[in-house]
Amino acid sequence: MFSSKPTIGLLFQCESKDIMYTNPVAVNRHDHNRLRFTPADNYGFSRGLSHIGVQAFELEQLSEYYPIVFNSHSGAPLAVLGIFGGCNLWLNEQDQWCAPVIPVQLSCYPFGLKKMEDGQYIIIMDTDAETLQAKKGKLLYNRRGESFTPSPLLKAMTAQLEAIEQQRLVTTTAFSALVEHQVLSPGRVDFTLDGNPHRLDGFSVLDWDKVEALGEAVKSGWQKNGLWQLLKAQTASLENFKRLQQMQAGLLK
């Protein structure tokens, strides 16, 4: 999605879910009825993320710390976590998150939802996750005679995943209006690190001249449904690119 050039030339083309879920499989009672889960006390699984999807309800809070940009094709908002591929700048050496607000998409790992061709959703999990073990943690399934039923843990996780998916659909609907009304423009950040020039691009930002040229009915609708306020927060968040550059510069010393 992003590229950094001319010196580094790294590509940010992997989606967040593809990086986090290195070995995703469908959760099922046949293979996983004795598997246990222990919540992680760190975010080491996200070390390779340079960006992650943002839901509308969390955008304003996240915009205080992360640059928020847009997917050029869908208009979906993304929080930028690092300016080079495979580098999440918000983790310390102990893999603790160094900001008070964490993107909600990270909260359910190693579990996730996958939409099938028939439109139904299944629960997946990353079997490489250290939080999944056979002897430690809470069971994913409870035994009832010869059968297995989802445990309270798995039921709660399913509900959380479904709630996040509903928020994702709300966000997709809201921000698709930016593509529909053609108010996005290519984004670009030029900066210098260790004496070398770099460029970050491959994303979109809001073009307020195009927004102001829209009809009053559209602008009024965005103000009423809350999108206008989110767009203001997104624009202000671009100042956080300076923070990321400073964080990256600190790593190079």
**Partner residues linked to 121 by β-bridges:** 115
* Statement: residue 11 has pLDDT above 80: no
* Statement: residue 45 has pLDDT above 50: yes
* Statement: residue 6 has pLDDT above 80: no
Instruction: Give mean pLDDT, residues 7-29.
Output: 63
3-class secondary-structure state, position 246: helix
Q: In this predicted structure, what is the pLDDT of residue 19?
A: 60
* Statement: residue 146 has pLDDT above 60: yes
pTM tops 0.95 = no
Res. 85 pLDDT band, cuts 50 70 90 = confident
Instruction: Give mean pLDDT, residues 186-200.
Output: 90
Instruction: Give mean pLDDT, residues 9-16.
Output: 39
Q: In this predicted structure, what is the pLDDT of residue 250?
A: 86
Domain boundaries, the chain: 2-23+43-107+158-252
Res. 9 pLDDT band, cuts 50 70 90 = very low
Q: In this predicted structure, what is the pLDDT of residue 111?
A: 96
